[in-house]
Amino acid sequence: MTAASYVHGASDKPLIGQTIGRFFDEACERHAGREALVVAHQGVRLTYGELRRRVDALACGLMRLGLEAGARIGIWSQNNLEWALTQYATAKAGLVLVNINPAYRLAELEYALNKSGCQALVLSPAFKSSDYLGMVRTLAPELAHCEPGKLTSRKLPWLQVVIRMGREQSPGMHNFDELLRTPSLDELNALELRGELLRFDDPINIQFTSGTTGAPKGATLTHHNILNNGYFVGEAIRLTEDDRVCIPVPLYHCFGMVMGNLGCLTHGSTAIYPSEAFEPLAVLEALAAERCTAMYGVPTMFIAALQHPEFERFDLAKLRTGIMAGSPCPIEVMKQVVGKMNMQQVTIAYGMTETSPVSFQSGTDDPLDRRVATVGRVHPHCEVKIVGGEGHIVPRGEPGELCTRGYSVMLGYWEDETRTHEAIDAAGWMHTGDLATIDDDGYCRIVGRIKDMVIRGGENLYPREIEEFIYRHPAVLDVQVVGVPDDKYGEELCAWIIVRAGQTLGEQDVRDFCKGQIAHYKVPRYIRFVDSFPMTVTGKIQKFQIREQMKRELGLDEVSTA
């Protein structure tokens, strides 16, 4: 009888039963003299002992403003020292940190602040083309005339406290550095007392999903969720106190603040931020100058580093491991990362914000074919099953929806019971919406998204499979495949291709490459050559935008796919 597609991460390593604040204090004491954080673009280097002193000062400063445990406090900023300090200080003070996407504009900011009921907001003055101060003043013009900490806004009724980064003063706002003044003994005692009253199952973080359909949802995560996930991610790549991890991914996302920051904290490793946002040259400079042993990133980041014209001049000899996650990794990119970047122990991780985020990860000693073709095996203390249309577990090797259960599953979507119940069933299973298979050895392969699966003339087609094949063409740098409506077959395939610099490629070249190698119905009918793909700030490719653009271009908006 064929085994069922169900796996669980039995482990002799126990879950951490502490709040982030309690664990942070103990880690900083253990590693007091070791380097905890390097922020290259700000010229900052902090030991664990120094990091704790600044975090305690900020936590006391936030409490001084009257913020009680459970209050929501937003952060709207690029990667910097202030982000890290705010993450740890809010955890120690029992405040719920609300991560606001740096790419948000007015309507999105207003929605996030009001949906989560943010009482306070920490923000950078500006980032790239975004004038954060200007946008906040537009939504809350009352800031111009109010005393700092006493905002009463018509559009942002919850918001009372605005804290700006930088040395300049802004009307109606506190200055971040003011909150870092040396706390009194009484304030430190109050902080310790508050920490003793916190529970590790308390919500500590709200992360808004990208909202590709409908309004963004606020995934609500606990101390227990994210502290343990950061720990087990670090365990999977064998992090130690001697490791130095390059973190170019956004801190506002789980990849940065959980897998990056908390992964380093739980192992006494050094977290290194190369720049405010991803810049391939800054990453290469940090990898070499800081003797990094690990790098995290989405595939597009690794591609950009490998393709940089100055790549060859950097010494990456210290690199040994890292994580690729966030979107499917082309097999050839993984091979180049292993061969050219010296990351023989690089791993692939899979998950979602709602699961803190990682559910599967490859091992550093997995055979190369396993590490390039799958997302590894189930994480410790997690359960996963693959289910078919009727909700029954499918046999090993058969595709179905991936569902996960365990310590990592979020509490729910903030103040949205309907969508919470749609995502998490009565038995506690989080329905991911991802199509996957699990083989006889427990390795998982992500086939695609349920909504991305293309049904052409009754055949179920998985874009990931076709992308992997087309990517083998030596002139293809990257490729994305989507389905578009078609009168005859219901749906047809469309491929967007980025061609390697110095190479030429035509539509017929692609079709000739596919002919006789994959089934005729898997060969894309529409092929477009582009310079880039629409992406989220975390590097996830937005296939729905590709699909919508092609529908407009081809005049297919009114075609039924039923």
What's 517's domain CATH number? 3.30.300.30
Are 249 and 366 members of one domain?
A: yes
Please check whether residues 400 and 346 belong to one and the same domain.
yes
Of 431, 449, 467, the position where a domain reaches its end is 449
The answer, yes or no, to whether residue 36 has pLDDT greater than 50, is yes
Rounded CA separation 450/452 (Å): 5
Residue 218: predicted pLDDT: 96
Task: Indicate whether 132 pLDDT > 80.
Answer: yes
> What is 85-148 written as a DSSP string?
HHHHHHHHHT-EEEE--TT--HHHHHHHHHHHTEEEEEE-S-BTTB-HHHHHHHH-GGGGTSPT
Residue 3 is assigned to a structural domain of this protein: no
For residue 309, whether the previous peptide bond is cis, meaning omega lies within 30 degrees of 0, is no
d(CA 383, CA 6): 7
Number of domains in the chain: 3
- Residue 135: inside a domain, yes or no? yes
Question: Which residue, of 208, 237, 261, is where some domain finishes?
Answer: 208
Q: What share of the chain is helix, strand, coil (3-state, %, to 5)?
A: 35, 25, 40
How many residues does the structure list for the chain?
A: 562
Percent above pLDDT 70 for the chain: 97
Tell whether 464 and 445 lie within a shared domain: no
* pLDDT level of residue 214 (50, 70, 90 thresholds): low
Residue 310, domain extent:
217-449
14 assigned to some structural domain: no
Span 40-62, pLDDT tens digits: 999 999 999 999 999 999 999 99
Output 480 or 491, whichever has higher pLDDT.
Answer: 480
In a domain, 2, yes or no: no
* Same domain for 381 and 311: yes
State residue 560's pLDDT score.
34
Residue 4 lies in a domain: no
- Pair 301, 401 in one domain: yes
Same domain? For 224 and 152 the reply is no
Per residue in 420-442, pLDDT (tens digit) is 999 999 999 999 999 999 999 99
pLDDT of residue 455: 79
Q: What pLDDT does residue 2 have?
A: 84
Provide the edge-to-edge strand list for the sheet that holds 377-378: 44-47, 35-39, 270-273, 244-246, 294-297, 321-324, 345-351, 358-361, 377-378
pLDDT, one tens digit per residue, over 160-191 is 999 999 999 999 999 999 999 999 999 999 99
370-410 per-position pLDDT tens digit: 888 899 999 999 999 999 988 999 999 999 999 999 999 99
296-302: average pLDDT: 90
What is the model's pLDDT at position 327? 67
Average model confidence (pLDDT) across the chain: 93
pLDDT at 213: 46
Confidence bin at 64 (pLDDT 50/70/90): very high
214-234 burial, b at 16+ Cβ within 10 Å, e below that, comes to eebbbbbbbbbbbbbbbbbbb
Q: For residues 70 and 136, what is the distance between their CA atoms, to the nearest angstrom? A: 23
pTM (2 d.p.): 0.87
The whole-number pLDDT of residue 47 equals 98
Q: How confident is the model at residue 562 (pLDDT cuts 50, 70, 90)?
A: very low
Both 264 and 298 in a single domain? yes
Residue 210 has pLDDT above 70, yes or no: no
Position 558 scores a pLDDT of 40
Write down the residue that tokens 């990119």 correspond to.
333
Residue 174 and residue 148 in contact, taking contact as beta carbons nearer than 8 Å = yes
CA 378 to chain centre: 18
Q: What is the dihedral of CA 355, 358, 359, 364, to 10 degrees?
A: -170
pLDDT band for position 561 (50/70/90)? very low
Q: Is the confidence at residue 211, as pLDDT, over 60?
A: no
Domain C-terminal end among 432, 449, 466: 449
SS3 assignment, position 308: coil
The predicted structure's pLDDT at residue 148 = 98
pLDDT tens digit sequence for 338-369 = 999 999 999 999 999 999 999 999 999 998 88
Give residue 536's pLDDT: 78
Asked if residue 6 is part of any domain, the answer here is: no
pLDDT at 296: 97
Whether 258 is in a domain gets the answer yes
Q: Are residues 55 and 176 in the same domain?
A: yes
Give, rounded to a whole angstrom, the gap between the first and last alpha carbons of the chain: 36
Q: What is the pLDDT, as a whole number, of residue 540?
A: 77
Which residues, at least 6 apart from 514, have a Cβ–Cβ distance to it below 8 Å?
A: 469, 470, 522, 523, 524
Q: Give yes or no: residues 120 and 168 share one domain.
A: yes
Q: How far is CA 298 from CA 17, 192, 302, 350, 470, in A?
A: 30, 38, 7, 11, 20
440: in domain: yes
441 and 297 inside one domain? yes
How far apart (Å, rounded) are the C-alpha atoms in residues 278 and 483? 30
Do residues 238 and 375 both lie within one domain?
yes
Confidence band for 557, pLDDT divided at 50, 70 and 90:
low
Same-domain check for residues 370 and 268: yes
Between 473 and 450, whose confidence is greater?
473
CATH code, domain with 80: 3.40.50.12780
Look at 93 and 369; give whichever has higher pLDDT.
93
Dig out the tokens for 424 from the structure.
């998490």
> For the chain, what percent of residues have pLDDT higher than 90?
82
CA distance 411 to 225: 9
